[in-house]
Chains A and B, each alone.
Chain A
Amino acid sequence: MTGLRAARMPSLLGRHPVGLLLTAPYVVFVAVVFAYPLGFAVWMSFHDYFFAAPGATVERPFVGLENYAAVLGDPAVRRAFLNVAIFLVINVPLTVAIALVLAVALNGAIRGRTFLRVAFYVPYVTASVAVVGVWLFLFSREGLVNQVLGPLAPDPSWLVNEALAMPVIAVFVAWKQSGFFILLYLAALQNVPRELYEAASVDGAGRARSFWSVTVPALRPATVLVVVLATITGANLFTEPYLLTNGGGPNGASASPVLLMYQRGVEQGLPDVAAAIGVLLVIGVVALSLLNRRLLEAR
């Protein structure tokens, strides 16, 4: 940070008090739209809570960690957290790899650029209901994939196979959201100084070498962003197990914590239990994001 000017005077508000002004709208927005419901949810997780009509008199005693104990003792919840871990291990590296390789390839392509960009963007913009329909066609028992594989097709088939359902979802999500991350990388690639490549080629580096020694390090901030965002979206996985494996099937093998929150909180009217799952999930993801950042941003 040597580039920044020394402060004119040491201030209580920091070197650039104007920063407070710039972030104020965002902070107000967060306080109004997120902090209240979130605080409410945390409060809820320590009480025997359910939603009641205005004017109805109901008791909502403080129950301490009872909801958390119930959640942690529930094998379905433990399974869901394990599922999400499996999901992240497959999905995040895959997403980074696909997005990085395709973005770099796309950045240098001359012919068919428009078509290719649109092509990669299409799955991302298409509503999940429709895309899920197509994946069902591909991965169902008599789907295209199994017909191509012939005798090698897994039995039971992909989406009803306890060992394969979650990996298929992880691949699906990587595929669906790559368009987003390709755009991120593509925009970041515009900011990589051309001189770095020229210097590398003067040093006699081949294309693969300069990819590893120039592109990858130069894109590190973007990669941090991709990893953090992919982890977060992954942890909030809901639509895919809801639609693709119809409520986390087979037998809970693709249930995610958010799906359970939906089942417990909205369908079954147990928002206190759902809130406890949510709080645990948030703690886990915050820890993971901080860890990611520390690992990736360390230079």
Chain B
Amino acid sequence: MKRAAAFVTLILCTTVACGEGGGGGGGDAGQAAAKRGPINVWLSNNPEEVTWGKAMADAWNTAHADQKISVQEIPAGKTSEEVIGAAITAGNAPCLIFNTAPAAVPQFQKQGGLVPLNDFPDGASYVEARTGETAAQYKSPDGKYYQLPWKSNPVMIFYNKKLLKKAGVDPEKPPLATYDEFLATARKIVSSKAADAAIYPAPTSEFFQSWFDFYPLFAAESGGKQLVADGKAQFDSPEGQRVATFWKTLYDEGLAPKEKYNGDSFADGKAAMAIVGPWAVSVYGEKVDWGVAPVPTSTGRSAEEITTFSDAKNVAMYSACQNRATAWDVLKFATGQEQDGALLKATGQMPLRKDLPTTYADYFTGKPEYKTFAAQAARTVEVPNVPNSITIWQTFRDAYSSSVIFGKTPVADAFKAAREKIDTLAGQS
């Protein structure tokens, strides 16, 4: 066996030597920035977005025969960032991906996979003119934009009117503004057996799950703070504690189950409420008689003062792109007023533009159910654009899961330990 070990070591050593070879290329960035020609574009494969994307590409291609776009779907869901990360490393990423998660941007940027939009003379000014003040949340620590804030899905509380009525709660104006009201309503829902669960966020450990339970309420409670600001964790604070205690009460009293539901708890009537974005309007529109309310705060702030999580998906340009001038033109074309309007119409998701409700006033008068979301879209908080973003979210999720969901450690201890770890992570470059 000794000889075997020696042989294996030998193979390892000889192959390691060439470990760093290969690759190269990538082209001169300055040259690529001015080049035009055909480009590849990836879309999320949500069917409505694909329809929009194909129509957008057709519109562009008819006017630009020499710089055609070819559109492809990337598998969305859990593994989409994995595919993009691998494609960056392999050097076969497309020019533009209309489904770049803000939480993944710091990592892609570190990999050298993204083109800063500031490379283009009108890059920063275009982003800021289109999105307004909110754009600042998408700036990277080096002051550049590596993503164009594209569309958001500001999350709110959806409720099932039929189930609330069954629980003896006024279905037109359910008391959900303060934590006490929310808890009282939740208790009525469960004790009356109107539904198994009052609300059913996924109680699982994936790093992104906190975006749909803790984070929106934290944004609202703290008046719009991010999880991390100025390199320091913000959640180990009285606001963070209040939000955690609120959720802990829901879990402890069995108002929110600790076990994942295999399916859509809201559509199946297992839960009377859900935390969702405007995409839910088209998904539940027919199935459920629903109403919408802003996320609760301890003091019951009025709807106009509530900030929530944006759940945005953005567009980024990838460094494998050779014809960057074309890509930049396409990016502007696809996020102009006309295409944004088409996107809104096709998907119900909110383009990250300032003055959204007035720009598309016609659309919103015709569809009042989206109006609440459009108003909410003006007050959203993004995930922080900091190094080690995903590790930070996983660290937070682990602490939250053990203290709030499963009650294994006191919230104060878990949050303190997580804060210390996250402060270190956010401080690294």
Contact = CB atoms under 8 A, between A and B. Distances in A.
Q: State if A and B touch, Cβ cutoff 8 Å.
A: yes
Interface of A: 31, 35-36, 38-40, 42-43, 50-58, 76, 133, 136-137, 140-141, 156-157, 159-160, 162, 246-252, 263-264, 266-270, 290
B91 interface: yes
Interface in B39-85: 81-82, 85
B401 A266 contact: no
Contact of B110 (A39, A263, A269): A269
Given A40-B15, A249-B401, 8 more contacts: A36-B19, A54-B91, A55-B91, A136-B262, A162-B408, A267-B394, A268-B388, A269-B85
Nearest to B391: A268
A39 to B, nearest CB: 4
Given A39-B13, A50-B111, A246-B260, A55 B25 contact: yes
Contact of A248 (B16, B205, B258, B319): B205
Interface string B144-171: 0000000000000000000000000000
A51 B93 CA distance: 14
B23 to A, nearest CB: 4
Nearest to B104: A269
B390 A269 contact: yes
A143 to B, nearest CB: 10
B11 interface: yes
25 contacts: A31-B15, A35-B12, A40-B16, A50-B111, A51-B85, A53-B88, A53-B111, A56-B26, A76-B398, A140-B259, A141-B259, A160-B258, A160-B406, A162-B408, A247-B206, A249-B205, A250-B406, A251-B401, A251-B405, A252-B205, A263-B207, A267-B81, A267-B207, A269-B85, A269-B390
A141 B203 CA distance: 14
B27 interface: yes
A53 B91 contact: yes
Given A42-B16, A43-B19, A35 B110 contact: no
A156 B282 CA distance: 36
Q: Which interface residue of B13, B82, B93, B259 has the most chain A CB atoms within 10 A?
A: B259
B339 interface: no
Contacts of B388: 268
A269 B107 contact: yes
Contacts of A56: 26, 111-113, 319
Contacts of A162: 406, 408
A61 B48 CA distance: 46
Given A31-B15, A35-B12, A141-B257, A267 B390 contact: yes
A26 to B, nearest CB: 13
B11 A268 contact: no
Contacts of B316: none
B1 interface: yes
A183 to B, nearest CB: 29
B204 interface: yes
Given A40-B19, A251-B402, A267-B394, A53 B320 contact: yes
B111 to A, nearest CB: 5
B140 to A, nearest CB: 15
B204 A247 contact: yes
A157 B406 CA distance: 12
A195 B210 CA distance: 66
A83 B40 CA distance: 44
B118 interface: no
Q: Which interface residue of A162, A264, A268, A270 has the most chain B CB atoms within 10 A?
A: A268
A43 B16 contact: yes
Given A39-B19, A43-B16, A247 B26 contact: no
Contacts of A50: 110-111
A53 B32 CA distance: 15
Given A42-B16, A159-B259, A267-B82, A55 B23 contact: yes
B33 interface: no
A238 B112 CA distance: 30
B75 to A, nearest CB: 14
Contacts of A264: 391
A276 to B, nearest CB: 15
B89 A35 contact: no
A54 B25 contact: yes
A53 B204 contact: no
A157 B408 CA distance: 16
Contact of B111 (A31, A252, A269): A269
Contacts of A159: 259
A274 to B, nearest CB: 12
A1 to B, nearest CB: 18
A248 B398 CA distance: 11
A269 B259 CA distance: 29
Contacts of A39: 11-16, 19
Contacts of A137: 262
Contacts of A31: 11, 15
Nearest to A136: B262
B267 interface: no
